[in-house]
Amino acid sequence: MRLGMAHFKGGETAKALERYGQALEVQTRIGDIRGQAITLNQIAEIYSSLQQAGNARRHYRKAQDQWKRVNDSLGEAISLYGLAKVERQQKRFPEARRAIIEAIGKVESVRTSTSNYRLRTTFFEARHDYYQLETDIRMQLYYLLQARKDIAGAKKELEQALYASERARSRNLLDLLTESQADIRKDVDPSLLEKEQTQRREIEGKLDLLQTLSLQKDKEAQKATLQRELETLNRALDQSRAEIRNRSPRYASLTQPQPLKPADIQKLLDDQTCLLQYSVGDERSYLWFVTRNNIRSYNLPGRAEINGAVLALLDVIRAHEPPRPSARIEQHISKLRDALVNYPKRASELSNMVLKPLSPTMGFKRIIIVADGPLQYVPFGALPMPVEASAKSTSSRPLIANYEVVYESSVSVLGLIRRDPRRTAPGTVAVIADPVFSKRDERVHRGDRIDNHIDAVSPEDAFYLKVLRDAGDIGSVDGTLRLIRLFNSRKEAEAILAVAAPRSSMAALDFDASREMAMSEDLRRFKILHLATHGIVDGTNPQLSGLVFSLVDKDGKPARGFLRLGDIYNLNLPTDLVVLSACQTALGPDAKSEGLTGLTRGFMYAGAARVVASLWKVDDAATAELMKRFYSYMLEKKMPAAEALRRAQLDISTLKEEWRPSFYWAGFVLQGEWN
């Protein structure tokens, strides 16, 4: 059989079929039913690639029969998925629909049979293409029935396509958030809980060591060993947590949360709110424009074209990031000039590609974005309104000039947030800001005090070097991690406290801006938690992603200051709003079945109803001014968070000529409840 695979990969389909035929004869003779199913499936794939639909269809069906004989639901799903692709290729859409629905039914039965969340996520992500295929098949049926004037049938397929897209994005995340609200550890064997805690502590120790090694050169062998040890420990922890779920009376009583159907999605929208939900596919993509009373769909280009437009836009936005100190200032200035010239073109190209249904006069106040794939990295609020190809001129005002823009990982998650009754906290806002990162900081008590200049911007760099709230990517740092003090985060904290009601706020600054404070149960007393510090997004080891708080104590001795993603997931923080005033806090690995799995997801799991986070490395001074205005609108003028953020971003975009580019104001986005 391996020879058949080798021939097929080499393009020798005739030889591949011959080898597979030989393998099938042997497997039949010795009664290897599972082997027959695998070989039949491989033969079907070859016939599918040769456009021989009849042969492909016949062999997929034979393979499915063999999978049934060994009671292998996942094998059946694989054959049915292949069959659905063949039927779609032949434009036999009803047959394709039947096959993919049956395949997904098998996938769902396997997914729900495990209580190990990591395995469930990995499995579901590997089968994400099944849901995309269902979406595409149903949309093709929608267009076919529309052409036949079958209005009722077309409407049903359109809604089912949207439901397939929603189910693909929300299935595992709904499970996770439902579990977080149920306190599943209550009444579980204490020895099992202690075992889980011991494993967590061991993992933390390994992560501390890995983080230290990541900042050193020539440590690849030790890092590789640690990575393997961490994988082993994480598997053991997953097993313990699965056992906790299996033994938990509360977990056993949980019903499987179901994604919202289109009619239920529409009920979440008021008359002033519309939804844009995206599904990005390899060949073509779809956009559903949903209002309280209507659903419309739009065809979009495939993944490669959308990704190219997104990257082109982000390149010109990020040109405003400060260069490395070794960079030539002339080159940086030239890059900035090019970005200023190219931004309107790049932004308009992407807007016309993905915002087709929008117009300045459509009468809505708010747009909800459920992005997918590369679109998850886009600051939609900074895009201009889409322009018809025939238009000769148009305003380049950003989307937020007309609308609030709110982001959701899925609309079903919003429904879950609204289902959970929110408690009333007595305090207004808790602020943690301006941590101490270095023993050289002037706040450290030392007899031989060293000033803070080494951690500040040098005078020769001041002309063009801006301070970012970014600790870098630990996995790619070469040498010692250098954290510059964020002076403006202190001004930010003071401005927030100035607009909060008297005696309703709390600030933890300097050495008090610690990891312990960020994990304190006292924070539950406040409606809003504001964290202003350096952010880490670790591309190599996502477990190291997080926020950085004070790394030394008053005497300059090292202190544990990294609040990692795992720490955040273990918080109990049912707040109305968490503001992550740091770099790239809205980003993380893209799990196809859930979207970006970063700090925002962690705080929502911890209980936050909404999170404000950043899409890129944000400027310290501009961020401080934006946050000052955001809280002024929210606390003094009693605006909802989404509207307050919109107003603050518009202010910053016109406050200084230097801050006009979207880099300085468009990076922060709000996810979750907008009311």
Residue 284 located in a structural domain: yes
554 and 502, same domain (yes or no): yes
At 122-168, the pLDDT tens digits run 655 667 889 999 999 999 999 999 999 999 999 999 999 999 999 88
Q: What is the pLDDT of residue 462?
A: 37
443 and 562, same domain (yes or no): yes
Residue 260 located in a structural domain: no
At 379-393, the pLDDT tens digits run 999 999 887 443 444
Number of domains in the chain: 4
Q: What is the pLDDT of residue 253?
A: 54
Q: What is the pLDDT of residue 593?
A: 45
386 and 488, same domain (yes or no): no
At 282-294, the pLDDT tens digits run 999 999 999 999 9
Lowest mean pLDDT among 47-61, 115-129, 205-219, 468-482: 468-482
Of 414, 446, 467, the residue at which a domain comes to its end is 414
Q: Kindly tell me if the per-residue pLDDT of 543 is higher than 60.
A: yes
Q: What is the pLDDT of residue 389?
A: 40
Residue 116 located in a structural domain: yes
The alpha helices in 292-393, defined as continuous H runs, are 303-318, 329-354
Q: Kindly tell me if the per-residue pLDDT of 424 is higher than 70.
A: yes
Of 381, 414, 447, the residue at which a domain comes to its end is 414
Q: Kindly tell me if the per-residue pLDDT of 449 is higher than 50.
A: no
Give the residue-averaged pLDDT of 31-59: 93
Q: Domain containing 546: what range?
A: 427-672
Give the residue-averaged pLDDT of 352-361: 82
CA distance 448 to 54: 84
The alpha helices in 31-92, defined as continuous H runs, are 33-49, 53-69, 73-89
At 591-634, the pLDDT tens digits run 554 445 578 888 988 889 999 999 988 888 999 999 999 999 99
Q: What is the pLDDT of residue 212?
A: 74
407 and 461, same domain (yes or no): no
Give the residue-averaged pLDDT of 263-275: 95
Q: What is the pLDDT of residue 178?
A: 66
Q: Counting beta carbons within 10 angstroms of the beta carbon of residue 249, is it exposed (0 to 12), middle (13 to 18) or buried (19 or more)?
A: exposed
Q: Per residue, what are the HEC states of 242-296?
A: HHHHHHCHHHHHCCCCCCCCHHHHHHHCCCCEEEEEEECCCCCEEEEEECCCCEE
Lowest mean pLDDT among 250-254, 296-300, 613-617: 250-254
At 495-516, the pLDDT tens digits run 999 999 888 999 999 999 999 9
Give the residue-averaged pLDDT of 653-673: 93
* Tokens coding 568: 């955040």
Q: How many C-beta atoms lie closer than 10 Å to residue 146's C-beta?
A: 16
CA distance 467 to 482: 12
CA distance 564 to 200: 12
Residue 557 located in a structural domain: yes
Q: What is the pLDDT of residue 475?
A: 46
Q: What is the pLDDT of residue 611?
A: 95
Q: What is the pLDDT of residue 333?
A: 76
Q: Kindly tell me if the per-residue pLDDT of 556 is higher than 80.
A: yes
Of 152, 180, 208, the residue at which a domain comes to its end is 180
Task: Tell me which H or E stretch contains 529.
Answer: strand 526-532
> Average pLDDT, whole number, for the chain?
83
CATH number at residue 518: 3.40.50
Residue 259 located in a structural domain: no
Is residue 80 within 8 Å of residue 87, measured between CB atoms?
Answer: no
Higher pLDDT, 328 or 138: 138
Q: Kindly tell me if the per-residue pLDDT of 453 is higher than 70.
A: no
Confidence band, pLDDT 50/70/90 cuts, at residue 394: very low
From the list 488, 409, 325, 454, the residue with the least C-alpha distance to 670 is 409
Q: Kindly tell me if the per-residue pLDDT of 365 is higher than 90.
A: yes
CATH number at residue 101: 1.25.40.10
Q: Kindly tell me if the per-residue pLDDT of 588 is higher than 50.
A: yes
162 and 212, same domain (yes or no): no
3-state secondary structure of 546: strand
Give the residue-averaged pLDDT of 217-244: 80
465 and 560, same domain (yes or no): yes
Give the residue-averaged pLDDT of 173-191: 68
481 and 621, same domain (yes or no): yes
Give the residue-averaged pLDDT of 4-18: 70
Fill in the DSSP letter of residue 367: E
Q: What is the pLDDT of residue 451?
A: 41
Q: What is the pLDDT of residue 464?
A: 33
- Written as one letter, the residue type at 89 is Q
156 and 96, same domain (yes or no): yes
Q: Kindly tell me if the per-residue pLDDT of 478 is higher than 60.
A: no
pTM: 0.84
Lowest mean pLDDT among 220-234, 283-297, 371-385: 220-234
Fill in the DSSP letter of residue 501: P
Q: What is the pLDDT of residue 256?
A: 60
CA distance 667 to 653: 12
Q: What is the pLDDT of residue 113?
A: 59
Confidence band, pLDDT 50/70/90 cuts, at residue 176: low
Confidence band, pLDDT 50/70/90 cuts, at residue 457: very low
248 and 281, same domain (yes or no): no
Q: What is the pLDDT of residue 474?
A: 45
- Written as one letter, the residue type at 20 is Y
Q: Per residue, what are the HEC states of 601-648?
A: HHHHHHCCCEEEEECCCCEHHHHHHHHHHHHHHHHHCCCCHHHHHHHH
Q: Kindly tell me if the per-residue pLDDT of 539 is higher than 90.
A: no
Give the residue-averaged pLDDT of 76-89: 95
Lowest mean pLDDT among 15-29, 86-100, 129-143, 183-197: 183-197
Give the residue-averaged pLDDT of 277-306: 95
299 and 156, same domain (yes or no): no
Q: Kindly tell me if the per-residue pLDDT of 661 is higher than 80.
A: yes
Residue 133 located in a structural domain: yes
Residue 434 located in a structural domain: yes
Give the residue-averaged pLDDT of 382-407: 76
Residue 81 located in a structural domain: yes
Measured torsion, CA atoms of residues 610, 615, 621, 626, in degrees rounded to the nearest 10: -40
At 628-653, the pLDDT tens digits run 999 999 999 999 999 999 999 999 99
Give the residue-averaged pLDDT of 456-462: 38
525 and 376, same domain (yes or no): no
Calculate what percentage of the chain has a pLDDT beyond 90.
49
404 and 528, same domain (yes or no): no
Q: What is the pLDDT of residue 172?
A: 61
Q: Which residue has the tokens 């503001």?
A: 579
CA 222 to chain centre: 30
Q: What is the pLDDT of residue 341?
A: 87
